[in-house]
Structure 1
Amino acid sequence: MEEESSSQSTDRIKLNVGGKLFETTLSTIRTGGPDSLLFALSNRNSNDPNPVFIDRDPEIFSVLLSLLRTNHLPSTSLRFSKQELADEALYYGVDSHLRSATAPPPFSGIDASIVGSIRPASEGLPSAFTAADNGSVWIAHGGQVSSYDWNFLHTGTFRTHLDDIDSICRVWPEIAAVGSLSDAGLHFYDFSGSRHVGSVQWNDPTDPRIFKARVNAITASDSSVFASFDCLHRENCILQVDKTKIQVVSQLGRQSGNQAKNIVPGKLTFVPATGILVGSAVTGGAFGYSGYIRLWDPRSGEVVWETSEPGAGRSSRFGDSFAAIDVDVEGLALFKLCSKSGDLAMADMRSLRDDPWIYLKEKNPSLVMNGEEGSSMVVSCYKGQVFVGRGGGLEVWSRVQEEATNVERGSEGDGLFRRNFVDKREDSERGAIRKIEGGGDRLFVSREDVEGIEVWESSHSAGAISVL
């Protein structure tokens, strides 16, 4: 019996946290991982009868101990703020467990709802933002950039030398590339040191029109940053910049923007699977919308496919030009929103032809919506779903896998996708949607003249069947 008692005692550890005694097993506190403080404490001399003293909050420790035992947060965690829990979890080295326990479920657009809003403390109207794979987000507001982690906690703000930031891209975990329509150049800032680390300008000594070129759009690959520049004389191009050296590598798509088919790209997307850069431009006026979609191979600098609407556009619906486009980088597809009909169309990037568009049909006639030309329209692809903003309304188109293979190219898209309305009436009345972007298992939405960024997540009870 004495040997059994001795064995049990060596499997347990006593901790005195802030004056409160805890007793648990070694296996429980070692669950925190070899780099955690608790794992290190578990290796102390077992012959020492005194409990380990930790000068921290015992009530929060109780929550974290329960987390290590069950992989879930107990109801008592609601008494503490996210910041308090995050700080203590970081101290003990179990922040990854807290992140896993508080992470939203896999993102499903048809079951998404607003869970909160992130509002910068000063100049709260966001001018641009970018989300990361872990669900964190960087928000540009005025000439500042604020960072919020996976738990929506503010981790830092730095002020740039720009008055306004109109485009932002995360090029390294702590490095942001930013551009402005009112100031020249592409600029790189380091969050960790709140400092400016470099700039790139578009220069051409042989052409005096290339002067104070502004950045309109930014995207990045593993090794490069791509930014579209234009000048007051409407000359424009895309510069490929080495991410490590912050130096121009090449110039793509030099053109004069006197016509709609030659204006500066307002949106850039790099497709890792193919190494292709997709650029698009849309302009609207008294005579409707016009613009182009163009695909470049950065390795050769050549255009591999392009279309423009109206005019030389490859579309069977002449006069119904697109008002917005986006790229599904995982599904290798282009999506466009038609300005007059409001229809959503897709094209397979693996076989782009003269008229590659498949128009997705709404089966329920009462739900068919016109484009309402002149209203705000936005399209964004994320995790195999297509999110569409029409004015203040948000909808999601989800692929129907079992029927998708039966649709032939060039036919109407019956059964290819199904549409669901995501928002409630009060959501759609907040203001016109300006931008939609996914990150982790979240969707981030900004609206015209509305402070902050909306955060959308799926419910833990996701899986209900939607009714059209």
Structure 2
Amino acid sequence: MKIPKDKVRFNVGGRIFETSSTTLANSGRNSFFGALFNENWTLKQPNNDSSSNCEFFIDRSPDCFSVLLDLLRTGDLNIPPDIPERQLYREASFYGLLDHVRSAKWGQFDGNRLRHSRYVKGQAPGDGTAIRAGPDGGCCVAHGSVVHVFDWIMEEHPPLNLDYQRVNDVGWVDSESIIVSTCEKLGRGDGGMGLFSKSTGELRFKFQVCHENQVKSFAAGALSTSSGYKIFSSCKGRSNEYGIGVWDQVTGKQIDFFYESPGWSLGDADKLQWLNGSNCLMVATLFPRKDNCYISMLDFRDKRMVWSWSDFGAPITVDEKRVRDAVAMEDNNAICVVNEFEDLGFMDLRMNGGSVRWSSRSRMMKGKLSEESCCPKLALHEGQLFSSMDDCISVFCGPDWVLTSGLRRSYGGSICDFSIGGDRLFALHSEENVFDVWETPPPPIS
């Protein structure tokens, strides 16, 4: 692609800026500036001006334009203290440069370099259920029967109101769609799961469970998605039938269903996780929701359970060995679990039904205990392991998963849930329903 180096002049709010078409081409075809070029990346002349030095008038903020033009020239984002970030983001949205601003604002995600950037006050203190990071740096937060949706500049969209039906889980299908599961059905003949628009809160479609050509009423629980446009949900029928349903996220049609095996509680699962490499789904039913813990790997290609573990019948004498959360670590052929006394445990996926190897070297940060401590949560992101305990999140790295750093904010009480996505970590606190936003700053300019 040949980009001519013509000089371009802009009159923005009365201030004159000059740049080259090469610099403007860095904005991309879908930006405001991309529209100034034809299909051959030749600059269009305004007002039939045939001169090589053309001028475009834009009735926008010249201060923000200066920052964004510098971003296109250097790739660095330098926001003067007298320009509100929200104003700059709105101007970037006008020019189609939000992705450029996002990539320049955040460095490569690193849990050891995360910095607290802000906290957001919730709408219903003490009622936080779950928080999920969005692919574009925003998040959604479930509070009872309402899901609050925030974009990446932390502006709230219209909330999703489920009419007093308590939300069990939420998840992002893509940057514009949110999947919600509830304890009750969303309407007659439909199950307790729906796909909503992030921007408008509109219910796009409901999900159904069909068996023998009949629509079954069900409650939906834990959710997961795959790169193959599939949505997975644990399901519970009226007669306590349990299973895992599978739907096409584009059409909303049911495409599969996995009924539980005797003795294995699949439908009442607390956590689902899709593993792209092995094409399997991890299903975990955990303490204290159930007296016994069950973790299994399901292969939907031939409808079988390829790996399983349970503490059923194990001689457990102290609660500290009860599994509170689990995360599959596909690259390590392992599943990591955590108990309520800051112990991490590991199970080998190559050994079916093996025991938990509890680690004494990986100790999490000692959190500030609250009157109602929350169950610890686990997450794996870009080769780093994260685990929450009370009011802090610990970061583990390396082949032996050594504790390398910790994140802590005392405001809002214990952390009831956290999520990572869009180069951010979001942590939801239980007592005040506040969530924190952690970001990785860009590396210093050398």
Q: Give the TM-score range, shorter chain.
A: 0.7 to 0.9
Partner of 1:383: 382
Partner of 2:92: 89
- 1:282-431 residue pairs with structure 2 within 5 A? 282-284=286-288, 290-311=292-313, 320-329=321-330, 331-339=332-340, 342-349=342-349, 351-355=350-354, 357-362=356-361, 376-399=375-398, 404=399, 416-424=400-408, 427-428=409-410, 430-431=412-413
Q: Which amino acid aligns with 2:437?
A: V
Indicate conservation of the 8 Å contact 2:33/2:95, yes or no. yes
Question: Is the CA contact (8 Å cut-off) linking 2:135 and 2:422 kept in structure 1?
Answer: yes
TM-score norm. by structure 1 comes to 0.78
> Partner amino acid for 2:98?
D
Q: Tell me how far apart the structure 1 counterparts of residues 183 and 271 of structure 2 sit (CA, whole Å).
A: 14
| CA distance 1:244–1:58, shift in 2 (3 Å) | closer
What is the CA–CA distance in structure 2 between the aligned matches of 1:83 and 1:374, rounded to whole Å? 36
> In the alignment, residue 439 of structure 2 is paired with which amino acid?
E
Matched, 1:24 2:27: no
Matched residues in 1 for 2:367 and 2:145: separation? 41
For the pair 1:163 / 2:169, whether they are aligned, the reply is no
* Per-residue CA distance 1:384-427 (angstroms, 9 max, x = gap): 2221222223212212xxxx4xxxxxxxxxxx121145134xx2
Match of 1:37 among 27, 32, 37: 32
Note closer, same or farther for the CA distance 1:118–1:367 as it changes in structure 2 (3 Å cut).
closer
Return the alpha-carbon distance in structure 1 between the equivalents of residues 298 and 255 of structure 2.
15
**Partner residue of 1:79?**
82
Partner of 1:178: 180
1:254 & 1:145 partners in 2: Cα distance?
30
- Which residue among 223, 228, 239 is the counterpart of 1:218? 223
| Structure 1 CA distance for aligned equivalents of residues 154 and 373 of structure 2 | 34
Which whole-Å CA distance do the structure 2 matches of 1:244 and 1:128 have between them?
Answer: 24
RMSD between aligned residues: 3.8
Q: 1:121 deviation in Å?
A: 5.8
| Cα pair 1:382 1:437 within 8 Å, conserved | no
AA aligned to 2:327 is D
Pair 1:192–1:13, CA change in 2 (3 A): same
Matched residue SS, 2:99: helix
Deviation at 1:300, TM superposition (A): 1.6
Structure 1 match to 2:188: none
User: Helix, strand or coil: the match of 2:90?
Assistant: helix
- The structure that has the greater radius of gyration is 1
What does residue 447 of structure 1 align with?
429
Residue 238 (structure 1) aligns with: 244
Alpha carbons of structure 1 residues 57 and 110: separation in structure 2 relative to 1, 3 Å: closer
Letter in 2 for 1:387: F
Q: Is the 8 A contact 1:327 1:380 kept in 2?
A: no
Larger helix fraction of residues = 1
Deviations 1:223-257 (A, max 9, x none): 3211111246533211122223322222213367x
8 Å CA contact 1:328–1:384 kept in 2: the answer is: no
Query: 1:35-57, CA deviations, whole angstroms, 9 ceiling, x for partnerless residues?
Result: 33334174314517773222212
Q: Letter of the 1:267 partner, please give it.
A: K
Give the whole-Å Cα distance in 2 for the aligned partners of 1:248 and 1:459.
42
- Per-residue deviation, residues 130-172 of structure 1 (Å, max 9, x unmatched): 2234423223334443333333343554434553322112224
Task: Please state whether the residue corresponding to 2:70 is helix, strand or coil.
Answer: helix
d(CA) in 2 for partners of 1:94, 1:299? 42
Counterpart Cα distance in 1 of 2:88 and 2:320: 56
The Cα offsets for residues 290-320 of structure 1, whole Å up to 9 and x where unpaired, read as 211011111222111111114169x9x9982
Q: Is the 8 A contact 1:174 1:192 kept in 2?
A: yes
SS in 1 for 2:88: helix
Q: 1:368 to 1:80 in 2, by over 3 A?
A: closer
Q: Percent identity?
A: 22
| TM-superposed deviation, 1:203 | 5.8
The alignment covers a number of residue pairs equal to 424
d(CA) in 1 for partners of 2:266, 2:75: 55
In 2, are the aligned partners of 1:336 and 1:346 still within 8 Å (CA)?
A: yes
Q: Secondary structure at the match of 2:26?
A: helix
Letter in 2 for 1:324: D
User: CA separation in 1, counterparts of 2:142 and 2:365?
Assistant: 39
CA offset digits 1:50-103 (Å, max 9, x no partner) = 732222122221222222222223342x3223332122223223333222222x
Structure 1 gap ranges (5+) = 1-9, 405-415, 463-468
Distance across 2 between alignment mates of 1:373 and 1:455: 23
Aligned to 2:206: 199
Q: Is the 8 A contact 1:125 1:452 kept in 2?
A: no
1:6 matched residue in structure 2: none
> Structure 2: which 5+ runs fail to align?
38-42, 186-190
1:115 corresponds to: 117
Q: Judging changes above 3 Å, is the alpha-carbon distance between structure 1 residues 135 and 154 closer, same or farther for their aligned structure 2 residues? A: same
Partner of 2:258: 252
8 A contact 1:144–1:160 mirrored in 2: yes
